[in-house]
């Protein structure tokens, strides 16, 4: 799970979301309400579909907001959900990331699990990482 997550608020426009997707090389962002509860996910495909709906091509990214283009009520998992269950959700629903929420029913976001997180974990199973990763000093 990645505990540091870039999220969108419901009123974040698609231009800002697109910039974050490109800068972070993400495929999607969870959308949260004012209490930090997951209410949707916006992916690059959601943005493209919204642009496609406008047949004359005049719809602009800065006029579309997350709450209007997001996939509402996404699949979420609680902290401690076995990775096999997360993989099942990803495979069955053909999604790339699953938000992780508090166990208390609040749907408050605590992290996300992405396909690449799982692959990275599986690749590292045969290794032990010792010490801390530090920055390389340049002179």
pLDDT digits (tens, 9 = 90+) for 70-110: 999 999 999 989 999 999 999 999 999 999 999 888 899 99
Beta bridge partners of 2: 112
pLDDT digits (tens, 9 = 90+) for 1-55: 887 889 999 999 999 999 999 998 778 999 999 999 999 999 999 998 888 876 6
The rounded distance, in Å, linking the Cα atoms of 101 and 77 is: 6
Confidence (pLDDT) at 133 = 57
Mean pLDDT value across the chain? 87
Q: In CATH, what number does 8-124 get?
A: 3.10.580.10
Q: List the strands of the sheet with 38-43, edge to edge.
A: 8-9, 28-32, 38-43, 71-72
């Amino acid at each position: 799970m990645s505990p540091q997550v870039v999220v969108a608020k419901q009123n974040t426009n698609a231009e800002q979301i697109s910039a974050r997707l490109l800068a972070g090389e993400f495929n999607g962002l969870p959308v949260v309400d004012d209490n930090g509860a997951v209410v949707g996910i916006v992916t690059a495909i959601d943005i493209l579909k919204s642009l496609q709906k406008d047949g004359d091509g005049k719809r602009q990214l800065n006029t579309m907001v997350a709450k209007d283009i997001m996939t509402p009520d996404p699949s979420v998992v609680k902290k401690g959900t076995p990775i096999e269950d997360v993989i099942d959700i990803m495979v069955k629903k053909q999604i790339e990331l699953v938000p992780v929420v508090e166990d208390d029913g609040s749907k408050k976001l605590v992290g996300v699990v992405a396909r690449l997180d799982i692959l990275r974990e599986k690749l590292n199973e045969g290794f032990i990482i010792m010490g801390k990763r530090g920055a390389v000093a340049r002179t």
